[in-house]
Amino acid sequence: MVMAGWQHASKLESLIEQQVDKCRLISENMRQLDAWRQKSESLLYSMLPQQIADRLRNGEDPVSTCEMFNEVTILFSYTLGFHEMCANTPATELVECINNIFITFDAVVEKHNVFKACLI
């Protein structure tokens, strides 16, 4: 009788350990899922205006989010000598230069309350 009790206790301990391991795995999966969700939201909001991204996140049909504008401006930017600059400039200086260009573009975008789609 005592042996059976010990066996049951041992079995219960084993089952509890398995459940704890499964809980840890579920918690890690939830953290990873949250990180992926944040990345996907960041990508969505970087590619679309906020009000359109919000509508899509709320389940609205993508076709119904289409709008027509009478006037638009598209800016294409090219940095002359960029390839040479990449070959001859230390990486930290190059990153700082590109960052300054984007800071300037971002300031103009914010000033005029426009949407910026960025492709490199």
Task: Return the pLDDT at 85.
Answer: 92
Residues 31 and 42 in one domain: yes
Residues 106 and 85 in one domain: yes
Task: Return the pLDDT at 119.
Answer: 65
Residues 34 and 76 in one domain: no
Task: Return the pLDDT at 5.
Answer: 63
Range of the domain at 117: 68-120
Residues 17 and 61 in one domain: yes
Tokens of 73: 């401006």
Residues 58 and 98 in one domain: no
Cα atoms found within 13 Å of the Cα of residue 39, Cβ hemisphere only: 6
Taking only the tens of pLDDT, the chain with its 120 residues reads 455 666 777 888 999 999 999 999 999 999 999 999 999 999 888 888 888 999 999 999 999 999 888 888 888 888 889 899 999 999 999 999 999 998 998 898 889 888 877 766
Q: Which of 67, 83, 106 is the last residue of a domain?
A: 67
Total domain count for the chain?
2
